[in-house]
């Protein structure tokens, strides 16, 4: 058998296997409809959810409405509240409002939530940088370290969303500088 025929046979088997997984997953739902990027809108007990092409539940079937706002943000409505999810199912935030909100308003809502999250994480990053700066020297007191650490821990526990890659790099850079200063003591 030629390599080309072998490759064709393997890819055909993969398509059949993946197709059977989604077919099995679809059987659990009353309604399914293919959406963007290989995801499926599904309905169970008159509530909508989202599953991936391999049948994994991304957003549980408990919402009255679900929309793709962008290729990587999904909006779901339940009990006068809009929930915004990343495509992987992680909650970005929520905003109260009726189910007939205009898509442009929803896009604005999620944008504002993301900006608020970014600002929140910016404060955390700045706090961590100050912590590393203050605690890197020999004369830094344990009390100052503990208070700074407790304060950061509290702020992080209240934060929503995720820090940006730039913020993540700043955290790593501040920590490396802290370790270098402590190593020299």
DSSP calls for 90-135: -EEEEEE--TT--HHHHHHHHHHHHHHHHHHHHHHHHHHHHHHHHH
The pLDDT, as a whole number, for residue 136 is 79
Q: Residue 82: name the closest of 108, 121, 44 by CA.
A: 108
Distance of CA 58 to the CA centre of its chain: 11
More confident residue, 33 or 124: 124
Pick the CATH number of 3-99 from 2.60.40, 1.20.1630, 1.10.3470, 2.20.25: 2.20.25
More confident residue, 184 or 20: 184
122 has a pLDDT exceeding 60:
yes
The pLDDT, as a whole number, for residue 25 is 57
The pLDDT, as a whole number, for residue 181 is 84
Break the chain into its structural domains and give their ranges: 3-99, 113-183
The pLDDT, as a whole number, for residue 90 is 87
1 has a pLDDT exceeding 60:
no
Cα gap 146→154, rounded to integer Å: 12
The pLDDT, as a whole number, for residue 26 is 58
163 has a pLDDT exceeding 50:
yes
Q: What is the pTM of this model?
A: 0.66
The pLDDT, as a whole number, for residue 47 is 92
Q: Quickly state the pLDDT bin for 7 (edges 50, 70, 90).
A: very low
Q: Which two tokens stand for residue 76?
A: 């779901």
The pLDDT, as a whole number, for residue 155 is 81
């Amino acid at each position: 058998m030629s390599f080309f025929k072998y490759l064709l046979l393997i890819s055909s088997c993969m398509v059949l296997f993946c197709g059977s997984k989604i077919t099995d997953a679809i059987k659990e739902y009353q309604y399914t409809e293919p959406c963007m990027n290989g995801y499926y809108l599904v309905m169970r007990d008159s509530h909508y959810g989202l599953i991936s092409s391999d049948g994994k539940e991304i957003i549980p079937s408990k919402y009255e409405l679900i929309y793709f706002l962008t290729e990587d943000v999904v909006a779901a409505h339940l009990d006068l509240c809009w929930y915004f999810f990343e495509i992987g199912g992680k909650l970005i935030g929520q905003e109260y409002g009726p189910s007939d909100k205009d898509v442009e308003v929803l896009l604005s809502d999620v944008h504002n939530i993301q900006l608020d999250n970014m600002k929140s994480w910016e404060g955390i990053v700045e706090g961590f940088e100050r912590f590393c700066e203050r605690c890197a020297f020999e004369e830094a007191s344990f009390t100052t370290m503990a208070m700074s650490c407790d304060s950061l821990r509290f702020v992080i526990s209240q934060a929503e969303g995720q820090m940006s890659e730039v913020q993540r790099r700043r955290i790593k850079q501040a920590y490396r500088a802290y370790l270098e200063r402590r190593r020299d003591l």
